[in-house]
Structure 1
């Protein structure tokens, strides 16, 4: 799977660990930055991540910041992207199954690397259930539906 990953300065270490883990799992990973712990603005990286998921360059996205909250808000500004803030595997699985989430966000200050990997595993291996959920997902991108 083609996966894009982006963070802010607070999540550099978790991003690097998850990037390597995803590659070991056989995924193609695009690291959208940043590359240092110098202070950056998380919306810049959230918007970049949303753009590559929305245009199909990446099939899924992983957004990381200190809490996961700010970057998830910025990713969700793109109507073609559904980014769920998760902290454990059940949330990650339900985000895919019920909401057809194409991105997840996690907080590096709140989620350890083992839990983050478990969340990613659930997110990447769960299919969208469709059915009654499709109508609701359609409304997420088009409120007039």
Structure 2
């Protein structure tokens, strides 16, 4: 499975740790940057990640910034993206199970790297439940 990943300067260290963890687990990862802790603008990384998921090039996306809000707001501007701001494993699981989220957004300043790794793992292994949630998800794009 090809996973898109991107982060701003606040999420750089988390991006690197998550990417390494995914590669060790056999995932393919497309890294959209940033590539340092130098200050950057999060939309420059969130849009390319969202586009890669929206186009079908990548199966899922991972975005990280300080609060997770900026990257989530940016990614959700794309019609086929359902980006979920997650702060614990249960939220990450429900984002997939009930909302068919295809991008997870993580707040680097508010969760540990270990927590972020667990959320990503849960997000990637959880399937969409469908059923009563199917019609709700279809209504998201209007």
Q: How does the TM-score come out when normalised to structure 1?
A: 0.96
Give 3-state SS (helix, strand or coil) of 1:99's partner. Answer: coil
Corresponding residue for residue 86 of structure 1: 86
Alignment of 1:1-145 (within 5 A): 1-141=1-141, 143=142
Q: In the TM superposition, what is the alpha-carbon distance from 1:40 to its structure 2 partner?
A: 0.9
**How many matched pairs?**
142
Q: In the TM superposition, what is the alpha-carbon distance from 1:37 to its structure 2 partner?
A: 1.5
CA distance in 2 between partners of 1:12 and 1:120 (Å) = 15
Gaps of 5+ in 2: none
Q: In the TM superposition, what is the alpha-carbon distance from 1:43 to its structure 2 partner?
A: 1.2
Q: Which runs of structure 1 show a deviation greater than 4 angstroms over 4 or more consecutive aligned residues?
A: none
CA distance in 1 between partners of 2:29 and 2:78 (Å) = 21
Give 3-state SS (helix, strand or coil) of 2:106's partner. Answer: strand
Give 3-state SS (helix, strand or coil) of 2:140's partner. Answer: helix
CA distance in 1 between partners of 2:82 and 2:30 (Å) = 19
CA distance in 1 between partners of 2:114 and 2:38 (Å) = 25
Gaps of 5+ in 1: none
CA distance in 2 between partners of 1:16 and 1:34 (Å) = 10
CA deviation digits over 1:83-110, x for unaligned, max 9?
Answer: 0000111000000000000010001111
Q: In the TM superposition, what is the alpha-carbon distance from 1:58 to its structure 2 partner?
A: 0.5
Q: How does the TM-score come out when normalised to structure 2?
A: 0.98
Aligned-pair Cα RMSD in Å: 0.7
CA distance in 1 between partners of 2:10 and 2:88 (Å) = 20
Q: In the TM superposition, what is the alpha-carbon distance from 1:80 to its structure 2 partner?
A: 0.4
